[in-house]
Structure 1
Amino acid sequence: TLLRKALERNSKAAVAKFAWHGRERLGLLRVQDDVILLHAMKWDDEVRDPQELAPKAVDVSDEEIDRAVLLIDSMTTDGITGHEWSTDRYTQALEQVIEAKAGGKKPPKPTEEEEPAGQVLDLMAALQESVSKAQASRGEGSGSGKDATVHEMPKKRAAKKTAGKKTAAKKSTAKKTTAGKKTTAKKRGA
């Protein structure tokens, strides 16, 4: 109270350091309506050059600006009144969930508007249509009598591991015997 009254009497603000989120910060203390407000300030290394954030230069015609003004005028209302703007739906829904959980009940399910169902595509039919269009563009197709069809590829079978080991063993023994024959042939010739 003493600090607040002293700042208020002198019409001054105070700069202070405070710790927040494990870091020392600067703050501006000022008085408003019998309360001391703290405004967090940034260090010089935290302030970015505004040129980094500036949008790229774009040429806009007067006609485009006029259209934008017309759009804004068409969406402008005199005041924000009505149920849409005066109701906080999020807080109401949160209160309902809290009340339900406090009463040991399941929370109410949100009322969602159903979106119109999207068109379901048959991928095989689309692929068949694409193939027939490609054939027609090449001059092939219904005249040749051979229509392209799409088939599922057969699944590959895994080779047995024991068969691979046996063939490797046979190859290694074959190399040894041929190597042995070569040495005996050289001795005989000598």
Structure 2
Amino acid sequence: MPRPLWAGAISFGLVTIPVKIVSATEDHDVHFHRVHLADMGRVRTRKVCELDGEVVPQDESGKGYEIAKDQTVPVTDEELEKMPLPTAKAIEIAAFVDADTIDAVRISDSHYLAADGQVAAKPYTLLRKALERSSKVAVAKFAWHGRERLGLLRIREGAIVLHSMKWPDEVRDPQGLAPKVVEVGEEEIEQGLQLADRMTIENLSGFRAEYREVLEDIIAAKADGKPLPSPDEGGERKSGEVVDLMAALNASVKAAKESRGEDHGEEATVHEMRPAKRTGGRTAPAKKKTASSKTAAAKKTTARSTLAAKKRAGTKTAAKKRSAS
């Protein structure tokens, strides 16, 4: 289990559920250091006082709020921890709402709530089953990183998930962002719907971070002194270029059919689209990859695995240092 980030309890009426917050996601991005290109030395960010120009040690740095020009009020971490909030060490459920009433724009970070000890097993299971059977989600308040937040509790594969949410006044009004009203024919709308049906998949598990994979290939090639991977040929359409909507839809349908292995040389148009044949409720899979594509993929995987091993070693070293401290 990942290292707990917070320990407290869920307050559910008169029921208390001891829980720990753990990260629900992992960061797999490639992170760069800022370096001096002349000698590859690390470039560090230093905290300097603007009054005396001296570097400020960590133990002399704190929080302050500017209430007027040349007047700042210091606020300590101890004062924040002693704030008279019922949510200081509790995730206080305030209401239950239908899941489809939550605006996705308001959902932010996600964390898992793990039952903290055997005493939490029964009330944890009670809340989980209540949410599952009611098809509702719980709205809660909790304190996190020095401020009170709004949260959303829902169930994912038997575990309670806590989503941080934006407060209602933190969501901007989208009015004025949409284009002016234009006429779109029913035939065009229907064609768009049929294209969407062609592109419908059952889950998102097949998606991968292609940018990160190519970046890892570049780093591995540079580390081994090998030529950099060549960019894909075939330029992209210039941004802002006006295209014929019907022609774009027809081209999109043809591309969708080819990606599913359904194109046998005939011309595809939006007027000819029909739902793909399904077996057992599932769309027939695309053609298998050729042997050459498998070989190329294997070479890329080998290069990335070397980089991934270095990243894992660095992560373990950092973890040991945190444990020792």
Bigger radius of gyration: 1
Compare the two structures and name the one with the higher strand fraction.
Answer: 2
Give the TM-score normalised by the residue count of structure 2. 0.25
Which structure is richer in relative contact order (CA contacts within 8 A, separation 6 or more)?
2
Compare the two structures and name the one with the higher helix fraction.
Answer: 1
Give the TM-score normalised by the residue count of structure 1. 0.38
